[in-house]
Amino acid sequence: DYRYFPDPDLVPMHVDQAWIERVRQALPELPESRRQRYVTQYGLPDYDATVLTAAKDLAEYYEATVRLYPQPKVVSNWVMGEVMRELNRQHHTPAQAPVTPEHLAELLRLVDAGVLSGKIARTVFEEMYRTGKAAPAIVEEQGLVQMSDSSALEAVIRDILAANAAQVAEYRAGKQKVWGFFVGQTMKATQGKANPALVNELLRTLLA
């Protein structure tokens, strides 16, 4: 049997619960704890939480973005999609990414403001990653502002409907699948810049 005896040269150490709690708070968050927190705090699906917490630097990139743009699921989609794709393609760590959390949050706010469509935002992101420029600069340089002028967009749609009378007749006869054709033609005519919600609203009015 092992026997332990007090050492007369060592002062007895009394460990209270408060000290234990302070030490616990000072410890770095473990991946599993962080994963569970993402599910409860951010409402993320388990899959998203698992992917985002697989690497500490990726989790920190995600959280930094959420602090600036507090829509956890939207940020998760972008980080797991566009951000991770470029990181893997360029063999970068999140810290090496030209698109910082600040830049990504700024881009997402432009989408919210209706300045960019989701599709164009992805094109802008690729250019941001390639050049290191911020989203507003790229949007201005390339004239990528989303088309939300109702009158201008209505004129485009009227031209499309006039040029596709057969498809208009099919739609009005009940062929709902033709709707996608009209949307596609509108996006093509506007180089993807048309506001999708406004396109649908105008089509509903003009095809009624």
Residues 91 and 194 in one domain: no
* 46 domain-assigned: yes
Residues 135, 34 within the same domain = yes
pLDDT tens per residue across span 38-88: 999 999 999 999 999 999 999 999 999 999 999 999 999 999 999 999 999
The verdict on residue 2 lying in a domain is no
Q: Does residue 54 belong to any structural domain of this protein?
A: yes
Higher pLDDT, 175 or 20: 175
pLDDT of residue 85: 97
The 8-class DSSP code of residue 45 comes to -
- Strands in the chain per DSSP E: none
Q: Is residue 129 domain-shared with residue 168, that is, in the same domain? A: no
Domain range for 97 is 28-142
pLDDT tens-place string over residues 97-131: 999 999 999 999 999 988 888 889 999 999 999 99
- Domain match, 35 and 95 both: yes
- Classify residue 4: in a domain, yes or no: no
- Specify the higher pLDDT residue, 179 or 119: 179
Q: Do residues 58 and 132 share a domain?
A: yes
Residue 89 lies in a domain: yes
Choice between 30 and 167, residue whose per-residue pLDDT is larger: 167
Find out whether 106 and 134 touch, Cβ atoms under 8 Å. Answer: yes
Instruction: State the burial class of residue 133 (Cβ atoms within 10 Å of its Cβ: 0-12, 13-18, 19+).
Output: middle
Residue 7 belongs to a domain: no
Encode pLDDT of 142-157 as tens digits.
988 888 889 999 999 9
Q: What does the pLDDT read at residue 102?
A: 98
CA distance 71 to 52: 15
Q: Is 70 exceeded by the pLDDT of residue 3?
A: no
Same structural domain, 130 and 43: yes
Same domain, 44 and 93: yes
Residues 74 and 162 in one domain: no
Let me know whether 176 and 127 are in one domain: no
Mean pLDDT computed over every residue of the chain: 92
Please indicate, yes or no, whether residues 123 and 43 belong to a single structural domain of this protein.
Answer: yes
Alpha carbon of 76 to those of 46, 105, 115, 161, 195: distances in Å?
12, 12, 21, 39, 24
- The CATH number of the domain where 168 resides is what? 1.10.10.410
Percentage of the chain with pLDDT > 90? 72
Average pLDDT over residues 8-32: 80
Concatenated DSSP letters for 71-98?
-HHHHHHHIIIIIHHHHHHHT--GGG-S
- 3 or 18, which is more confident? 18
Residues 119 and 159 in one domain: no
- Note the pLDDT of residue 1: 54
Q: Which among 130, 124, 129 is positioned nearest to 144, based on CA atoms? A: 124
Q: Tell me what percent of the residues of the chain surpass a pLDDT of 70.
A: 98
Is residue 24 over pLDDT 80?
no
What is the reported pLDDT for 137?
95
Position 80 scores a pLDDT of 98
Q: Do 163 and 97 have their domain in common?
A: no
Domain count, the chain: 2
